[in-house]
Amino acid sequence: MRRRRTISRRPAVLGAVSVAAALVALGLSSAAVSGAAAKARAGFVSVKVAARPLPEGSVVEPSDVRVVSVPPEAAPDGPASDPVGRTVTLPVLPGDAWVEARLAPSGRGVSALLSPGQVAAAVAPAIPLRVAVGERVRVTATFDPERFEGSDLVKVVAADAAVLAVEGEGSRLILGLEARERDQLALAQGVARIDVALLPPDP
């Protein structure tokens, strides 16, 4: 008579118990990690940052602001509570925090970039000059010797003026000038050649 072979179920049961125990342990571990992460996030603070790059002179729109959560120690000093509608005084990159130091205290657009006592004036250089907002330029007027007498036919209109806006790939610039410089420019633009030269950055 052939004897029936019996297969022990004990190893399979033990294996199933081990797998179940491992899954339970894994679940507890994941829950502990999630709980710790949630607890850590609960201490984070909200910070308003730039959503896209913005050049100097831009007016901040609602779409330019997004909110991120960061640890308290990573929060910037002097955050701007509401940057929308204010003018950028320093170029920003995506992710840069909106702080008061990057924004004009008042005014919108070009007017916000003027220093006390300055006015904004447009100048059309004889040769278009590719410059960026915030750079410094020198403005000179050259008078036609056939129309004007004297040896001093080249006059400095503005020795150091800030570029506030650039139009037409440098064919028209908006500069921050002192009142007397603005008057000199107004007198010279109709009768002289106006040249604009880029100055080196401050050391």
Q: What is the pLDDT of residue 10?
A: 55
Query: For residue 162, what pLDDT is reported?
Result: 92
User: C-alpha angle 120/134/58, rounded to 5°?
Assistant: 75
- Alpha carbon separation from 60 to 27, 31, 104 (Å, rounded): 46, 42, 11
Residues found in the chain: 203
If phi > 0 it is left, if psi is from -120 to 50 it is alpha, else beta; for residue 52 that is beta
Partners of 165 in the beta sheet?
174
The dihedrals phi and psi of 17, each to the nearest 5 degrees, come to -65, -40
Q: What confidence score (pLDDT) does residue 34 get?
A: 55
pLDDT on residue 3: 52
Judged on CB neighbours under 10 Å (0-12, 13-18, 19+), 83 is buried
Give residue limits of the domains in the chain: 14-42, 45-102, 114-198
Q: Which of 66, 58, 61, 62 lies closest to 95 in space, CA to CA?
A: 66
Residue-level pLDDT at 20: 53
Q: Check residue 109 and give its pLDDT.
A: 77
pLDDT along the chain (203 residues), means of 10: 51 54 58 53 87 89 95 90 88 92 79 86 93 93 82 90 90 94 90 94 74
Cα–Cα dist 92/100, whole Å:
13
Nearest to 69 by CA among 48, 100, 53: 48
pLDDT for res 43: 82
pLDDT digits (tens, 9 = 90+) for 12-60: 555 555 655 555 555 655 655 555 555 556 689 999 999 999 988 888 9
CATH class of the structural domain 45-102: alpha beta
The per-residue pLDDT for 135 is: 92
Residue-level pLDDT at 190:
83
Predicted TM-score (pTM) of this structure: 0.60
Q: Within its chain, how far is the Cα of 165 from the centroid?
A: 16
